[in-house]
Chain A
Amino acid sequence: MKTRSLVSIDDLTTGEIMKILKLAAEFEKDPVQEILHGKVVATLFFEPSTRTRLSFESAVSKLGGKIIGFTDSSTSSVSKGETLNDTIRTVNNYVDMIIMRHPIEGSARYASEISTVPVINAGDGANQHPTQTLLDLYSILKTQGSLDNLNICMVGDLKYGRTVHSLLMAMSRWHTSFNFVAPDELKMPDEYKLYLDNLGLKYNETADLQDVINQADIIYMTRVQKERFSDPIEYEKVKNAYVLHDHMLSGTNPGMKILHPLPRVNEINPDVDSNTKAYYFEQALNGVYTRQAIICTLLGLK
């Protein structure tokens, strides 16, 4: 693959995704490699995201690269009114790759068109976060042995959740069937259901997790945020319906795993953590290997 950017999961062919996941498995076996020796990577976080930034910085560090950047635009020249155009044109003189998170949608695509070095989108508003999707795919592949014909149960905020939308689009390449478990106010938007309809993929919607939990190969939990509800009474009514407890897992598939993009608040009870089906912390570790694979692939170094 030639040197290029990763802005949206749709930028990658299925073959390219599988190649990245295979490379991630190699990094899992042998994570410390001096592939980025002498290279400098910028992490430009125009809005804070500690978890994503640390994961990327860990990935670059394990590869022997150096990191420069900022963690919050209030401490950079952006606060003086510099345009994104000027920031990118300046920074790409200093580095071999730019990893950026920005609150404005489409900012990463725009940056990738200006930049002379590859850009990785680490989240552009509510739009795309492709490295999260790839690490989710890696976690699913690793725990299930294959991506084909799985049942994925998505739980919580399916309306605004960027990660579930990207994962749905990506997994639809492998004949996935879906269960969507959400309160009325946070149901999966029609455009995604239409997308599955057009592909002839099966999905089912319910407000009760217990109905469908035993079918799942993967449960993908998300946070139901209070601020998403127009009526706080509605939130109080549903908030406990989307909390996973250990006792709910007794009839689930033996190989089932629970994923969560983190941070978790209260949607997974801590009593689940010791269950072998809990996988969210390993998922976060997989993020480092997956990002190592993405960085090397985009730089044409592997």
Chain B
Amino acid sequence: MKNLTDPKQLLVSAIESGTVIDHIPASTLFKVIKILGLDRIRNQITFGTNLDSKTDGKKAIIKIAGKFFEDDDINRIALVAPNAKLNIIRDYQVIEKRVVAVPDTITAIAKCMNPKCITNFEKVTTRFRVVSKKPVALKCHYCEKITDQERMEII
């Protein structure tokens, strides 16, 4: 635990092993928590938000002790935190860095923008095919309409 005097380091304490998710937009921190189900697990979690970032304005960071994510799981946050970076920690050392990628299909995260879509009438799990990754555009598996980034709502 070096640099204890660095005020930035004191805000969120280091973890011995686990995952640090950095460069989350402050505005979508709680969506990331929800998408990853962090509100339902028993691991130790610390997070900081509204931190100054040179590149992102206000950013958030989450540290989850003893938790490692599969690519498919972590890519689910790409819709709300496209620039998120993962640091995989073992023995206080970063052993691997990863970025998130928009997956080819999106399940149970986004809401279809079409008010006449069945997913907005009955309890149907939303499913989309990603037809464009930058900017993100999603084609609904049910009504076949496109939901673009501007109209995207996270459930």
Q: Does A115 interact with chain B (Cβ within 8 Å)?
A: no
Total number of residue pairs linking A and B with CB closer than 8 Å:
49
Collect the chain A residues with CB atoms within 8 Å of residue B145's CB: 105, 127
Q: Is the CB of A8 within 8 A of B144?
A: yes
Give Cα distance in the complex from A233 to B117, angstroms.
Answer: 33
Collect the chain B residues with CB atoms within 8 Å of residue A106's CB: 112, 117-119, 124, 140-144
Most B CB contacts (10 A, CB to CB) among A8, A85, A103, A109 go to: A109
Q: Does B122 interact with chain A (Cβ within 8 Å)?
A: yes
Q: Is the CB of A104 within 8 A of B116?
A: yes
Q: Say which size band chain B's interface belongs to.
A: 10 to 19
Q: Does A18 interact with chain B (Cβ within 8 Å)?
A: no
With CB as the reference atom, state the residue of chain B lying closest to A110: B118
Contact with A along B15-50 (1 / 0, CB 8 A): 000000000000000000000000000000000000
Q: Is the CB of A125 within 8 A of B116?
A: yes
Chain B contact surface mostly: loop
Q: Does A54 interact with chain B (Cβ within 8 Å)?
A: no
Option from B118, B141, B146 in Cβ contact (under 8 Å) with A104: B118
Collect the chain B residues with CB atoms within 8 Å of residue A104's CB: 116-118, 121
Give Cα distance in the complex from A85 to B143, angstroms.
Answer: 16
Q: Does B114 interact with chain A (Cβ within 8 Å)?
A: yes
Give Cα distance in the complex from A85 to B122, angstroms.
Answer: 8
Q: How far is the CB of A290 from chain B (nearest CB, A)?
A: 22
Q: Does A262 interact with chain B (Cβ within 8 Å)?
A: no
Q: How far is the CB of B118 from chain A (nearest CB, A)?
A: 4
Q: How far is the CB of B99 from chain A (nearest CB, A)?
A: 30
Option from A84, A105, A191 in Cβ contact (under 8 Å) with B143: A105
Collect the chain A residues with CB atoms within 8 Å of residue B142's CB: 105-107, 109-110
Q: How far is the CB of B116 from chain A (nearest CB, A)?
A: 5
Q: Is the CB of A105 within 8 A of B114?
A: yes
Across the A-B interface, the 5 shortest Cβ-Cβ residue pairs: A106-B142, A105-B143, A106-B143, A106-B118, A107-B118
12 interchain pairs (CB within 8 A)? A84-B118, A85-B122, A104-B117, A104-B121, A105-B117, A105-B142, A105-B144, A110-B122, A125-B143, A127-B144, A127-B145, A191-B146
